[in-house]
Structure 1
Amino acid sequence: MLFWLSDFADAVPLFNVFRYITFRTGGAVVTAMLFVFLFGPTIIRALRVRQGRGQPIREDGPQGHLLTKKGTPTMGGLMILAGLIFSVLLWADLSSPLVWTVLAVTVGFGAIGFYDDFLKVTKQSHMGLSGKARLAIEATIAGAAVFVIAQVSVPELSNQLTFPFFKDLLINLGWFFILFGAVVIVGAGNAVNLTDGLDGLAIVPVMIAAATFGLIAYLAGNAIFSDYLQIHFTPGTGELAVLCGAVIGASLGFLWFNAPPAQIFMGDTGSLALGGMLGTIAVATKHEIVLAIVGGLFVLEAMSVIIQVTSYKLTGKRVFRMAPIHHHFEQLGWTEPQVVIRFWIIAFVLALAGLSTLKLR
């Protein structure tokens, strides 16, 4: 919205600052953070009253959780989404189809997560929306988003798969790119969802990944920087840096209330939305494989569940003491803060590895 003020820069030179993505990204960070700070307590009180007993805690999980986390409200993702959307509408260029596409996926996945959380809270059960129905809806939203991204991308890149470390290696996936992109988005959403199991565990890696992809989006969307780094120029993606800034700001505000002991949990409402958003930005910027590096922590969490389930079904034996893998380390005797902070460190190192792909070509 404020971007339109740049049209009056000739009359008011000060308005020229709204042309700059970096300025608006900074504004998005601050706006989203302040929004969550200001309205967070009200949202938490309302959710606590409406939810009563709060999020149901796994009885087969770490026993300490039954004591320390029982009664904590969930759906804290509503705080993040509210701050994010308000900030994006205020600071982003709303004429960008990519902005609206990423927002649509974020809100769509958030709505799925909200309904899932609602069922769990009202039934006081872990059985929310059925897995097949949830994946089907997510795939439909993601597939539609990838189709739009392919249509608005430059023709030479629209259906291409790019590879880190190689400046000229491209594979034309054709219509299969829609399926591939949908898998990336759905996978990212559910991987972040699986990571969200301890206070603050998922939100900081999300911020790290958002900061990384905000930089990637800015560089890939700039003809000069992309040429210098020899990465593929993707016009229009620079505006997605504003969305990443809004994620960082809203997540910082949420972390204030989610820090141990958490006053509120993010729930599927937030984790699905943020993961889907990161996946969509990765597809738009042609850095899908880099997402697997930057979000390697999320991949590890998801793989631990897949390995555990597969092993148990085939052999009747478990590979980990408990899945996702953060619970495995809890069972080994790590305290919750140890697990969380060490996983943050891993996420930061993986983000640096992902950024290194921009220059090592």
Structure 2
Amino acid sequence: MKSILIAAAIAMVASILLTPYLIRVFSRQGFGQEIREEGPEGHKSKRGTPTMGGVAIIIAMWVGYGVSHIANATSATPGEAPTASGLLVLMLATGLGLVGFLDDFIKIRKQRNLGLNKTAKLVGQLVVSIGFAVLALRFPDERQLTPASDNLSFVRDISIVSFGALGFIVFCYLAVSAWSNAVNFTDGLDGLAGGSSAMVLGTYVVISFWQFSHDCGRVAEAACFDVRDPLDLAVVAAAAMGACIGFLWWNAAPAKIFMGDTGSLALGGLVAGLAMATRTELLMIIIGGLFVVEMVSVVLQIAVFRTTRRRLFRMAPFHHHFELAGWAETTVIIRFWLLAGVCAMFGLGLFYADWLSAGGGI
């Protein structure tokens, strides 16, 4: 538990302190956000706000994770060393953050709202996700558990649904691409993606620690969990949560910096990685329900417009629909945060209910 608290606290402080430094540096360099012309009129004033703030989230996440392990290594009761699961999830997030950084950088240099084209972005996601998928099926521990499983999962592996190694690589790419784009779509209002991500990551701190407390290698109970490194995954989730909260100090409306694709793609990759490493891939659809709604709204808008030449929403992603309906930006943000919190709590409730129904606590 101490390592989780240290990771969250250090990452939060690092993010709070690092972000204003990035604001000054990016402002001097002219790294300002470009705003799409067809966007809500109120967003035009945000043009030029420093972007690529996701750099602070990524760095703070690594700092929190690293300091937590250093503190444990020097304590009287040392905890686990960095694990394959934790490092792979962090590297997945960092790799996607680099893809997002290139996207942001091109937008800034060419002074347009389009960075990498769709093909280039998908190729970047493909390379990073394949690397994660291949490595996640390696590094077995003494119980022959690898960081990820080639079975589909809800709260634990569904043994009758197996992808095989090649199928898992395809599934991993689809999951990483979907979640990174979903968080990217959500990142359209000040603090919306950061606050929602913090709630999802906080939920995974609880889930991962619960899996550690009821790990099949430590306890003999019907409802135990076979996850390779649950405690270290809780540390990763805590560090990322702390980094998001620290960034929100500067990103809350009116934002002094945006996370950009650097942050949104990294957080989406982190969400996908945690879902696969904790064997909760389908449960993540509920926990991250807000991200799902935002992505589905874009898909529906495109599908309806192409078939009927009419718009289903005033504008997609979904949060812009309410802005154009007259809601204040802060009202949309707070209400969507509430939706994100409800989804996270409902997902956590399903996780606990499954544990009880499987014989936990009996």
- Could you tell me which of 107, 118, 121 is aligned with 1:134? 121
Distance of 2:154 and 2:54 partners within structure 1? 33
Query: Could you tell me which residue of structure 2 aligns to residue 180 of structure 1?
Result: 171
Residue 161 of structure 2: SS of its match in structure 1?
strand
| Alignment-mate amino acid for residue 178 of structure 1 | I
Task: For residue 38 of structure 1, report the CA deviation from its aligned partner.
Answer: 2.0
Is the Cα contact below 8 Å between 1:105 and 1:277 reproduced in 2? yes
| Alignment-mate amino acid for residue 158 of structure 1 | S
Query: Could you tell me which residue of structure 1 aligns to residue 76 of structure 2?
Result: none
Query: Could you tell me which residue of structure 1 aligns to residue 26 of structure 2?
Result: 47
Task: For residue 324 of structure 1, report the CA deviation from its aligned partner.
Answer: 0.3
Which range moves more in the overlay, 215-224 or 334-343?
A: 215-224
- Could you tell me which of 17, 22, 28 is aligned with 1:38? 17
The 5 A counterparts of 1:143-158 are 143-152=130-139, 154=144, 158=149
- Could you tell me which of 283, 296, 301 is aligned with 1:290? 283
* Equivalent residues, number: 337
**Residue 123 (str. 1) matches residue 110 (str. 2):** yes
- Could you tell me which of 221, 226, 234 is aligned with 2:227? 234
**Residue 24 (str. 1) matches residue 7 (str. 2):** no
Query: Could you tell me which residue of structure 2 aligns to residue 243 of structure 1?
Result: 236
Query: Could you tell me which residue of structure 2 aligns to residue 163 of structure 1?
Result: 154
| Alignment-mate amino acid for residue 172 of structure 1 | S
Is the Cα contact below 8 Å between 1:221 and 1:235 reproduced in 2? no
Question: What stretches of structure 2 of length at least 5 have no aligned partner?
Answer: 70-79, 355-362
Distance of 2:127 and 2:246 partners within structure 1? 31
Is the Cα contact below 8 Å between 2:151 and 2:157 reproduced in 1? no
Task: For residue 51 of structure 1, report the CA deviation from its aligned partner.
Answer: 1.8
Is the Cα contact below 8 Å between 1:220 and 1:226 reproduced in 2? no
- Could you tell me which of 56, 71, 75 is aligned with 2:34? 56
Q: TM-score, structure 2 length as denominator?
A: 0.88
Q: TM-score, structure 1 length as denominator?
A: 0.88
RMSD: 2.0
Is the Cα contact below 8 Å between 2:11 and 2:60 reproduced in 1? yes
Is the Cα contact below 8 Å between 2:145 and 2:228 reproduced in 1? no
Task: For residue 229 of structure 1, report the CA deviation from its aligned partner.
Answer: 7.8
Query: Could you tell me which residue of structure 1 aligns to residue 48 of structure 2?
Result: 71
Post-superposition Cα deviations, 1:147-193, rounded to whole Å, max 9, x if no partner, equal: 222224646983111234x8876412213122112211221111001
Distance of 1:231 and 1:350 partners within structure 2? 24
Is the Cα contact below 8 Å between 1:146 and 1:283 reproduced in 2? no
**Residue 323 (str. 1) matches residue 300 (str. 2):** no
Distance of 1:122 and 1:94 partners within structure 2? 41
Query: Could you tell me which residue of structure 2 aligns to residue 200 of structure 1?
Result: 191
Overall identity of the aligned pairs, in % = 38
Query: Could you tell me which residue of structure 1 aligns to residue 274 of structure 2?
Result: 281
| Alignment-mate amino acid for residue 174 of structure 1 | G
Distance of 1:94 and 1:359 partners within structure 2? 28
